[in-house]
Amino acid sequence: MPHRRFFYIGAAALAVALGVGGSYWYLQYRANAAQKAVEQGDQLRAQNQMDEAARYYQRAIELNPDLAQAHSNLGVTQAALERFAEAIPHFEQALTLAPDHFEARIGLAVSLDGLGRFLAAEDSYKKALGLRPDFGAIYYNLGYLYHQQGLYAEAAAQYEEAVRLIPTFLQARANLGRVYHLQHRPGEAIAEYQRALADHPDEGRVYANLGESYMALSQYEEARAAYRRAIDIGVETVGAFYDLGVISEQEGKLEAARSYFHQTLLKNAAHANAYHRLGTVTAKLGQEEQAATYYLEAIKRDPGHAGAHYSLAQLYLKQGRSDEGQELMQVFAKLKEYEGRLASLKRAASRSPRSPEASYNLGMLHLEFGYVNKAAAVFEQLLKLHPEFSAAQERLAEIERVRAEHSAG
């Protein structure tokens, strides 16, 4: 014990003797130790050991609270584990210490995006682009943010810039094709998918999307080839089987069509369109009772399925079940009114995708016809862009209140 006490006394005396110089060397030691901790954390992070890496970054911060890189890297470990709420304060602290810290800025944007905070994420992505305007991945991330929000024109502009900077960027190229398709520009979508496949010829998902765009142009042979290529690669989408069924039905190959629609239902048992098509094909094969069962199942899966109501109504009228047929035709007329108004409001919303009024009107139409979940989704999406839009807040609160009462009852 005397030796230990002497050591402390000696160290204190040495610090006093060194004065400012001693303080400098001590701070330098802590700075070096903090940097070493960051490097150790980086090694662990490279091995995907995020929690272990986080402990080293936290140690670095304890040694040097002003080390922006340590705060940023700690945020990265949390974001990598999708702990976005925990990551954000670390990125914000890094940016307080170093406002131009690129990794912290992009990490903050990704974390805000992960929490669905659209406006804040958009702002942070744009600030990241201000720091590095030639960084293609940021354009992709911003494009994807817009894509998810239904802002397809804005998404396309970002994806276009991403592929200009990185021509072989598969995800950006494929998503650019997708937003072109969603904008009813299938020819341009096809061109982008073909460019993507030139660089990545074994991407089954791109072939599946290519098939969908060919279907939009009624180019059935090309669609079939694309879908079959996707399936051969191992990408078996619901849409591929369904559209192959539609093509077979168009060609009069009814048994093949029926097989494809059954495969569709194996992938998605709630696919109302597949039940409706099964009914149509089965009716053509002369099995009317079975067809009626399929139509009823389509209506059960989607009470707003206008086509299934019409087909079942016509079948009942043909069978002499006039009252049931007429009743279904009345429902069909109401559903067609909804579809017509919906198409008109969607066109208005697509022309002004950031207009709260256009989205609000769309949500109110869903409510008018009893599609509460669809209305809620529209209002929630609207409030991401316009958090202060009180009418949408009120409608959403009413929906939540009714849901709560229903659950309690």
The dihedral over CA atoms of 368, 374, 376, 381, expressed in degrees to the nearest 10, equals -120
Q: What is the pLDDT of residue 27?
A: 66
Q: What is the pLDDT of residue 30?
A: 80
Nearest C-alpha neighbor of 178 from the set 211, 200, 202, 201: 211
Rounded to the nearest 10 degrees, the angle between the axes of helix 20-46 and helix 2-18 is: 110
Q: Given 1.10.760.10, 1.10.3720.10, 1.25.40.10, 3.40.50.1380, which CATH number is that of 17-133?
A: 1.25.40.10
Q: What is the pLDDT of residue 407?
A: 79
Q: What is the pLDDT of residue 25?
A: 64
CATH of domain 355-409: 1.25.40
CATH architecture classification, 146-235: Alpha Horseshoe (1.25)
Nearest C-alpha neighbor of 201 from the set 241, 232, 155: 232
Terminal Cα-to-Cα distance of the chain (whole angstroms): 73
Distance CA(387)–CA(239), nearest Å, equals 35
Structure tokens at 171: 């995800």
Distance CA(207)–CA(203), nearest Å, equals 7
Structure tokens at 291: 């067809």
Distance CA(205)–CA(388), nearest Å, equals 39
Are the CB atoms for 126 and 108 separated by under 8 Å?
no
Equal fold, 236-346 vs 355-409: yes
Q: What is the DSSP string of 307-376?
A: HHHHHHHHHHHHTT-HHHHHHHHHHHHHHHHHHHHHHHHHHHHHHSTT-HHHHHHHHHHHHHTT-HHHHH
The mean pLDDT values, 10 residues at a time, for the chain of 409 residues are: 37 40 64 90 94 94 95 95 96 98 97 96 98 97 97 98 98 98 98 98 98 98 98 98 98 98 98 98 96 98 97 97 98 97 94 93 96 96 95 96 82
The number of CA neighbours under 13 Å toward the Cβ of 371 is: 19
Distance CA(229)–CA(236), nearest Å, equals 10
Nearest C-alpha neighbor of 176 from the set 143, 222, 151, 213: 143
User: From residue 225, how far is each of 5, 87, 193, 240, 291 by CA, in Å?
Assistant: 84, 46, 14, 11, 30
Q: Where are the domains of the chain?
A: 17-133, 146-235, 236-346, 355-409
Residue 271 DSSP code: -
Q: Given 2.60.40.10, 1.25.40.10, 3.40.50.10860, 1.10.3720.10, which CATH number is that of 236-346?
A: 1.25.40.10
